Amino acid sequence: MRRYDLLVKGGLLVLPYHGEIRADLAVAEGRIAAIAREIPSAEAAEVIDASGRIVLPGAVDAHFHIGIYRDMALDAFEETRSSLVGGATTVLSYFRTGRHYLDRTGPYEKIFPRVLDAVAGRCFTDYGFHLAPMTVEQIDEIPWLVDEHGITSYKYYMFYKGFDLAADSRDARAFTMGDEYDLGHLFLIMERIAEVQAARPDVRLSLSLHCEQSELMRVFIDRVRRGGAPQNLRAYHEGRPPLTEQVAIAEAAALAGHTGASLNLLHLSSAEALAAAATARELHGHVDMRFETTLHHLCLDCDDLDARGGLGGKVNPPIRPRGHGEALWRAVRDGLVSWVASDHACCMEEHKGDDLWPARPGFGGTALLYPVLISEGHLKRGVPLSRIAEAASANPAKAYNLWGRKGSLAVGFDADLAVIDPELTREVTADLLLSGQDHCPFEGVRVTGWPAATVVGGRVAYRDGEVTGEPGGTYLRRG
């Protein structure tokens, strides 16, 4: 008699916060149903031979941008397909009103259902959203968004305050299509999140922050543009130096210390940002602060990218010079950085061009999530597999109210997992990543440790370099 739908047999199971065990894992009705030293193959309808392979909980790619520069339905299809290549089974996408995305403003009560309709039936992974309150009216919608749609995480972009580099303009209102987008607005968001949190103690409500200080950016960017040096990715780093991260983190932490709002400091890119984050946590010990970095800030170097040419590596915050990445890797290993994400934003090469300042920021990377963490983190730097599972899966699941469903291989959790071949080496190409994007800043890099199979909700969605079946991801209400 077949008791299980799927059996993953003979793999090294990585259990966040615990360690590794050699065992079989069985799946029934989309959930992990059993873990045992030996489960007979005859008891399962389908068997994955995981001998010599590593089995990790499906990655929760907690920083994603579905539809920022392209049609949302197309982006949902092609970019969550790319997630499967990297072992990501859940994506949490940011969305805001204003320029890009849907290029409109208004209440989320009217706009967010359009977002959900656009991506429904188009995602290969499970998916959720973080929303950015760009207007006072949207701040007032937070209690409704929590209760109606299970949105428990919000965002504020500190560098939009008075200076919008993405639009190559100093008219922030034209970009945000919102109200005065200053520290007062940030304070109002934090106040409301703390107020709603007090009434809903069973969930973690949080504010995610893009920490770059806009007035300092204005000074440094003007200096770089007048300086006569090549306007390349090194110049972009110098125009938005780590000092801007330090100051923004201190500003935000002071407001959080007053309001008590929980914070997620996103895509920390420098040694200075790490130090500022650690100091903020020490100064405001009563505030729940969690820290994120990205694959590209861990691994890429602006000078190396400039030597290759082009602006494909332009991203906010900028990719830094050599040295910052090693500081970030130490913080991942030691646990100061809570999780690693891709900050995936599909951006075509035509929108990069050859002029630094109007070039669009961002690029894809979700297909590299586990491969880079295994290759550069575990194999090269000795980061334990359990720590990698925590940074890619368990910690973001806990931060964003998915724990109990996502982030672990424990019995009862969703059967989301990545079966990694630790000896498989591939050279990164845009085609390999199954994204709609036509370039990749990691192109040409040899990476070891790729998923041989990615399972979403008990279904084998990706195997041996190919997607199997149609999109089957579901929307995640959180909390």
Q: Which two tokens stand for residue 462?
A: 């990706």
One-letter amino acid identity for 398? K
Domain range summary for the chain, segments of one domain joined by +: 58-401
DSSP letter for 43, please.
Answer: G
Instruction: Please state, in angstroms and rounded to a whole number, the distance separating the CA atoms of residues 461 and 269.
Output: 33
Instruction: Please state, in angstroms and rounded to a whole number, the distance separating the CA atoms of residues 406 and 396.
Output: 9
pLDDT interval class at 181 (50, 70, 90): confident
Instruction: Please state, in angstroms and rounded to a whole number, the distance separating the CA atoms of residues 255 and 351.
Output: 36
DSSP letter for 152, please.
Answer: -
Alpha helical stretches, state H, 95-163: 108-119, 136-140, 142-149
> Which of 121-125, 163-167, 387-391 shows the lowest mean pLDDT across its residues?
163-167
Instruction: Please state, in angstroms and rounded to a whole number, the distance separating the CA atoms of residues 76 and 71.
Output: 9
Res 7 pLDDT > 50: yes
Res 166 pLDDT > 50: no
Res 167 pLDDT > 50: no
pLDDT interval class at 174 (50, 70, 90): low
Q: Which two tokens stand for residue 288?
A: 């729940």
Distance of CA 165 to the CA centre of its chain: 22
Q: Are strands 446-456 and 459-463 parallel, antiparallel or unpaired?
A: antiparallel
Instruction: Please state, in angstroms and rounded to a whole number, the distance separating the CA atoms of residues 451 and 233.
Output: 32
Q: Which two tokens stand for residue 209?
A: 């922050």
pLDDT at residue 163, as a whole number:
52
pLDDT digits (tens, 9 = 90+) for 293-329: 999 999 999 999 999 999 999 999 999 999 999 999 9
pLDDT digits (tens, 9 = 90+) for 138-159: 999 999 999 999 999 999 999 8
User: Which residue do the tokens 């590593």 mark?
Assistant: 54
b/e string for 70-98 if b means 16 or more Cβ within 10 A?
bebbebbbbbbbbbbbbbbbbbbbbbbbb
CATH T-level topology, domain 58-401 = TIM Barrel (3.20.20)
Residue 194 has a CB neighbour count (10 Å cut-off) of: 18
pLDDT at residue 172, as a whole number:
65
Closest CA to 157 of 298, 444, 422, 361: 361
- Provide the whole-model pTM: 0.96
Res 177 pLDDT > 70: no
pLDDT at residue 162, as a whole number:
60
pLDDT interval class at 171 (50, 70, 90): low
The CA-atom distances, in angstroms, between 169 and each of 148, 173, 217 are 36, 10, 13
In total, the chain counts a number of residues equal to: 479
